[in-house]
Structures are given as C-alpha cells and as structure tokens.
Amino acid sequence: MESKPKQIHNSQFSIDDTVFESEDSVLIFDKPYQCTSFDLVAKVKKAIKHKFGKKVKVGHAGTLDPLASGLMIVCTGQMTKKIESYQGAEKEYTGTFLLGSTTPSFDLEKEIDAEFPTEHITAEMIRAAAQQLTGEIEQIPPQFSAVWIAGRRAFHYAREGENVELSPRRIQITEFEITRINLPEVDFRIVCSKGTYIRSIARDFGLLLESGAHLTALRRTRIGNFHVENALNCTPNDERKVFTKKENEYFAMGLMSGTSLDGLDIAFCKFYQRGKKWKYHIIKCETVDYDDEWRKKLQSAPTLSAYELALLHRDFGTFMANSVKNFLTELPERPDFIASHGQTVFHRPDLHLTTQIGSGAEIAALTGIRTICDFRTVDTALGGQGAPLVPIGDELLYNQYDACLNLGGFCNISFTENNKRVAFDIAPCNMLLNYLAQKINLPFDKDGEIAQKGKILPDLLNQLNGLEFYQKAGAKSLGKEWFDSHIIPIIAKDFAMDDLLRTAHEHIAAQIAHIINQHQIQSILVTGGGAKNEFLIDLLQTKIPNSQIVVPDIGTVDFKEAIIFAFLGLLRIKQINNCLRSVTHSTRDNCGGAIYEGY
C-alpha cells in the first residue's frame, strides 16, 4: 500500500523582482528540475507584487512537468492576452530514453513495472524508429496526464488505479534526431507541435524496437522563436548553504494528515534565530497520496474495535516511517527530529479526550530519527480545547501579518488582540465544498468554476448563517461530528449543484469577512487548499475592501501546517511552551508532545 508523491515543491530558487520593467511583460524562464509550473507562476506573482505593490495577473503559456527543466513563457498584466498565441507555437526538446524497461507514467514519476530485452537493438533500428515517429502521427496521451475525462484529470484516475480510455490525438513531429546512443540510453532532440507528450514518444519508441522504454531526462529548449539560452535563470539558493548547519540551527521535519484525507504532507525545513526572531527555510516539501485502501481505513477508524484501532495506529506509523525514508533518499542530510501530528480519530475536549493515530514509536524505530507526536493531549488534560495548535507558529514565524487564515477542511484564523494570541475555527470550508462536488463525481470544484455559474439560495444561506456556533465567542473548534450533524441536514436538499456550491461559497466568505471586519484586521496571510480557489478568494476580497489578502508561495500555501508542526517539535525539544492558553482556554500555557528516541 505504499504511495508515491503526487507533487514535489522545490523551494531552493527565487525570482528577482528587477526582471519586471512594467506590469505588462512577457518573460521567459529556465524552469528548474523538480519545480512545478504552478511553483514558478506563484513565485512570479510574489515577485511582481513586491515590485509594484499590488496584485498583477500572471499566467504561463504551457505547462512543463516537474521532472523536466527548461523554457517556460510567463505573461503578466495585459500581456496574458497573448498566452494563447504562444501556446500554439512549435516546441523543441532534448532528453534521454532508457531502453529495456517501462513505468506506468512513462517517466521517473513511477517505478519500473516491466523489463524487456535490448540485446537485439541496433543503431540502425533506433534511427529507423525515430524516422517512423516523424511527421504527422496519432498519439495516445499517458494515463498520468492532465487530459480532462468526465470532469477530472486523467492522472486522478491513474493514481487511484483506474484505467481510462484516452482518445488518440493528431500531432506533428517535425524533427526527431538521435544525438547519442549508449545502450540502454538513447539521447534525442525532438521538434514538435502543441499537445505532444514526449513521454508517449518514449512508450511508442520502445514498442517499435520490440522492447520497452521510458523517459529519464527532458529539457525544453525552444518555444517558437524563444530559446532557453536567452531565458532568465531562477536564482538558485546555494544547496551547500541550505545543508550547512550552524550553532542554534535545526533540521526539522513535520508530518501532517488532515481531515480531507488527501495524503500525508511532509515538510523538511531548517529553523534558525536572527536576534529574537525565528526564521525558517524550506528545503523540500512533498505530499504522499493515500490510495483508496488507506483512505477507507482512516475513514473507518472511529468505528473500529479497540484492538483494530491499535493495529491501525501501528500500521499507520509504519506507513509514515516508510514515506519519510523514501522522502529522504536523495537528500544529503537527515532531520534532527520528526514532529508528527498523526490522524485525528476522536476529538472531544469536553471529555478531556483527543486521539491521533500513527505510532511515533514505529516512526522512530523504523527511521532511527527522534520523533515527537501526541501534541494535543496535555492541553486537553489541562481543560483546553487541544486545538488549534498552529497559532504559536503563526505568532513566532508569520508575525509580519496581522492575521493568519487557513482554508482547509474548516477555515480557522489566528491573530493578536490585546497582546494575546487568539485563534478559533470560523466555519466549514473545503469539507463543505468537496462534499458537494463529490455528489457530482468531482474531487473538488476547481477555482469555484461550477459555483460561479450558480445563484445564491437565500433561505438556505440564512439557515447556514443562523447556526448557533456562529454566535459563540472565544475559543471554539469544529469537527466532522459537528459537520455531519449540523451542516449535512441543511444542504441535503434537492437543489441544482451549481446553486448549492454558489451558496456554500457565499456562506464561507461571509463568515470569514464578518470576523475580519469585526476585528479590523488589515493584512491576512491565507494558506491551505482553499487559497487556490480563485473564486473564493475574489469573493472574500470584495467583502473586506479595507483589508489585504496575501497568498504566499505554493510551498507555504500547501505545507504551512506541516512546517509549523516541525516548529512545534523544535519548541518541545527546547522545552518551550508550544500551546497557548489564550487560544485553547486551558488552565495554563503548556508544552505538549511525547518523545520517542531514534538511534
């Protein structure tokens, strides 16, 4: 049941804002290996906003896989209108095929699933195969691709183990040059049309040779008249500096598994102090998808017998330990410690009860790394809510913002008021939106595209806004039990799904805006999956005209909670309080976390 990463975020590069001569620019970048196209665009957005002091529209003219490097065109401001013309331009790639083996993704994203003989392959056969794949051909995209099928990307089906039928597409291979043969490796240069998957070329190349092949290296060198040698280099952060640890600097890893059950978030960071302020640098972040079997096991955890739950606690710890070991494979350093949140099964602070599974002892034993877990039970034993725990990290790591807003399964906020940090859950967020989207067989409503087509249902909105929870003041938290008993009965009505989603977006934005306006909060750092929902963010901004929403780089958006749990582990090691009485209403500030030594 081991799962592979769904996305890797490499934050070891930055973009200098001096590259922007105006808000309306066409820029060409040499995208680094293991950086997603979304990462690059996010960093451009951050840099251009820093340069001009306001949000500027940014888009790219064609994605490039994380495992590929090379040319990407990024347009800003009014020049985004030219994106479509650039997308249709001819492209040139160089790379390497490895003959004799295949993978499900046709590249290095997945492990080898079959091996084939190569002894019969000659240089003449290789050049003949390249010739056969030159010209106008029909190509079937990879199962692991972004092609839309029934409202979902093909790779979603592939990662769930479901094979779907992809229709062939007509493409043009203008040039296919073999530049080096050193079996089992073959280097190439390909010039092709829009919509060409070089990974599929690798598959077809292997078949023509009566063997197998997959892509092991890829670089885009040209788009139309734009050449990579003229591209802007993303400024690399010196890896030697990243992995050089001075006194009072710490390598820390945070593990986070949330209510959405998307997967295990892993954040590896270096923490250090500058004066009295804590700083951090993201070394690497990754999300390990849960397959259907793991998702079902975790969903069923509250209904298990005591013995079955104990076994799942152990097994989930093993899963996390193996995920950590895979994550660390290509890194030159190990963390000083691992801080694991685990998966919440029960949370009843009124009974002084909270339970998170994922054995810290298993993680420490299998990785050999000191592991801190069970962060919440000290606070609930002291009469606190045991949640939220993130606000201490908000206060010490992100204090340049007036408030930190997380748009996860629930939306929660933390800010300083009367010299004390306060925090609480506001309303359901992705738990509600995804619940509705899944009713029409979609994992989520991307960018609120369906919601935007709907209309607000006034009576339904009034019922949602009238819930007793929203009248409570002070420390308060939400859980799935509350969602099941209070939200589902209201939305279980026979309405059009676009109207339900539109009303849900309105409800969420209204509840957040009420809190922000009530407390006159000026700048808000927004993270979590909902930060990528453009419709929700735009809707919220219209309701808080006097406040500034800041959506940071994608690493922080997706992994802030894992980063902060790594930091909570650091505070625990240093015996500094990592849970605030002002937030949880426990009898005192406290330092939670059980420590299991590695070796």
Helix H or strand E encompassing 37: helix 37-52
**C-alpha to C-alpha distance for 336 and 367, rounded to whole angstroms:** 12
pLDDT of residue 105: 87
**C-alpha to C-alpha distance for 465 and 541, rounded to whole angstroms:** 19
pLDDT of residue 165: 74
User: Does residue 586 contact residue 382 with C-beta atoms inside 8 Å?
Assistant: yes
**C-alpha to C-alpha distance for 597 and 366, rounded to whole angstroms:** 11
Q: For residue 563, what are its two tokens? A: 């980063």
* Domains of the chain, CATH where assigned: 5-233 (3.30.2350.10), 239-384+562-596 (3.30.420.40), 403-558 (3.30.420.40)
Q: For residue 315, what are its two tokens? A: 């097994």
**C-alpha to C-alpha distance for 250 and 597, rounded to whole angstroms:** 17
C-alpha atoms less than 13 angstroms from C-alpha of 429 in its C-beta half-sphere:
27
Matching residue, tokens 């002291």? 382
Q: Is 583 helix (H, G, I), strand (E, B) or coil?
A: helix
pTM: 0.61
Helix H or strand E encompassing 169: strand 169-182
pLDDT of residue 321: 97
Indicate if the alpha-carbon torsion angle 579, 580, 586, 590 is positive or negative: positive
Q: Is 196 helix (H, G, I), strand (E, B) or coil?
A: coil
Q: For residue 120, what are its two tokens? A: 């019969």
Q: Is 184 helix (H, G, I), strand (E, B) or coil?
A: coil
Q: Is 506 helix (H, G, I), strand (E, B) or coil?
A: helix
pLDDT of residue 10: 41
Catalytic choice (65, 265, 336, 445): 65
> At a CB cut-off of 8 Å and minimum separation 6, what does 588 contact?
382, 581
Residue 524 backbone dihedrals phi, psi, to 5 degrees: -130, 120
pLDDT of residue 122: 94
CA distances from 16 to 19, 47, 63, 157, 237 (A): 6, 7, 21, 38, 12
Q: Is the peptide bond before 184 cis (omega within 30 degrees of 0)?
A: yes
Query: Where would I find the H helices in 258-371?
Result: 292-300, 306-327, 360-367
Helix H or strand E encompassing 51: helix 37-52
Question: What DSSP string runs through 426-461?
Answer: EEE-HHHHHHHHGGGT-S--GGGTTGGGS---HHHH
pLDDT of residue 140: 85
Residue 402 falls in the annotated catalytic set: no
Tens digits of pLDDT across the chain (599 residues): 333 333 333 445 667 667 787 888 889 998 888 788 888 888 888 888 888 888 899 999 988 888 899 999 999 999 999 898 888 899 999 999 999 999 988 998 888 989 999 999 999 999 999 999 999 999 888 876 666 666 666 666 666 677 777 788 899 999 999 999 989 999 999 999 988 999 999 999 999 999 999 999 999 999 988 888 888 877 555 444 445 556 678 999 999 998 778 899 999 999 988 778 898 888 888 999 998 899 999 999 999 999 999 999 999 999 999 999 999 987 878 999 999 999 999 988 889 999 999 999 999 999 999 999 999 999 999 999 898 899 999 999 998 899 999 998 899 999 999 999 999 899 999 999 999 999 999 988 988 999 999 999 999 999 999 999 998 876 677 878 889 999 999 999 889 999 999 999 999 999 999 999 999 999 999 998 899 898 999 999 999 999 989 888 777 888 999 999 999 999 999 999 999 999 988 999 999 999 999 87
User: Does residue 324 contact residue 336 with C-beta atoms inside 8 Å?
Assistant: no
C-alpha atoms less than 13 angstroms from C-alpha of 586 in its C-beta half-sphere:
27
**C-alpha to C-alpha distance for 493 and 262, rounded to whole angstroms:** 27
